[in-house]
Amino acid sequence: MDQNIKIAVDAIVFGYEKGTLYVLAVQQRFGKLADRWVLPGGFILNDEPLLMAVERELKEEAGITVNYLEQLGTFGDDINRDERFRVISVAYFALVNPKNFVLKADTDAKDAKWFPITEIPQLGYDHNAMVNLAHQRLKSKLTYQPIGFDLLDQEFLFSDLENLYCSILERDIDRRNFRKKILSFGIVIETDKVVKMGASGRPGKLFTFDKTKYNQLLKGNFQFDISFA
């Protein structure tokens, strides 16, 4: 029996800045969904691996490259998710620091924009469902894998890390226990640099994530596990 099914990839890209979690969306240029906001993505090429297709679409439609990409899931149970023809989409989610990029829409994207997670419009296709699932995955992984550092500057105040966890998990944390737990792993290093903090102008020490040390620890029985009181 002949099949007439197309395979696509879509990317949920999270960014974080000043206590707000953002999601990247692009505005479609052509077709029935012209001017509608959707997730970056598109059809894979015949000789193209899935991961390479996601990276290409992000570069073409929004002008960004990402360091962290994880496959989220496959969307295709709704055979009418795309009214043109049957499309199965493999969704990925990524984490970036928005300050590292200048968005540049191209190809079939008319515009690219960061939306606060609480202000995402009604996206085309089933892309809102993808965002919701990716958000839940992000909140879960944040407690057992140090992916949050991909959202921060290379050097950061410890309070920035605390605020990131509070913002994404959408709840308060015991900051004293959190700091003690994070520092006990030995993967967050205190630098000799200080910056002024807030209106008070108090000096605050900068920290950095030691990814090399973390990768070395993973070769053993190390587990990054954050318990919140």
Centre a 10 Å sphere on the Cβ of residue 113 and count the other Cβ atoms it contains.
15
Cβ burial, residue 140 (10 Å; 0-12/13-18/19+): exposed
Q: Please state the φ and ψ torsions of residue 57, each to the nearest 5 degrees.
A: -65, -40
Q: How many domains does one find in the chain?
A: 2
Which is more confidently placed, 112 or 86? 112
| pLDDT, tens digit, 9 for 90 and up, residues 48-85 | 999 999 999 999 999 999 878 999 999 988 787 777 87
Residues 30 and 128 grouped into a single domain = yes
- 45-69 burial: b if 16+ Cβ within 10 Å, else e: eeeeeeeebbbbbbbbbbebebeeb
CA angle 19, 55, 64 (to 5 degrees): 45
Residue 229 pLDDT more than 70? no
Q: How far is CA 89 from CA 6, 39, 84, in A?
A: 8, 12, 14
pTM above 0.85, yes or no: yes
Residues 45 and 97 grouped into a single domain = yes
| pLDDT, tens digit, 9 for 90 and up, residues 175-222 | 889 999 999 999 999 999 988 776 666 788 999 999 999 888 888 888
Q: What's residue 162's pLDDT?
A: 93
Domain residue limits at 76: 5-141
**Is position 129 within any domain?**
yes
Residues 55 and 70 grouped into a single domain = yes
| pLDDT, tens digit, 9 for 90 and up, residues 2-52 | 778 888 999 999 999 988 999 999 998 887 778 899 999 999 999 999 999
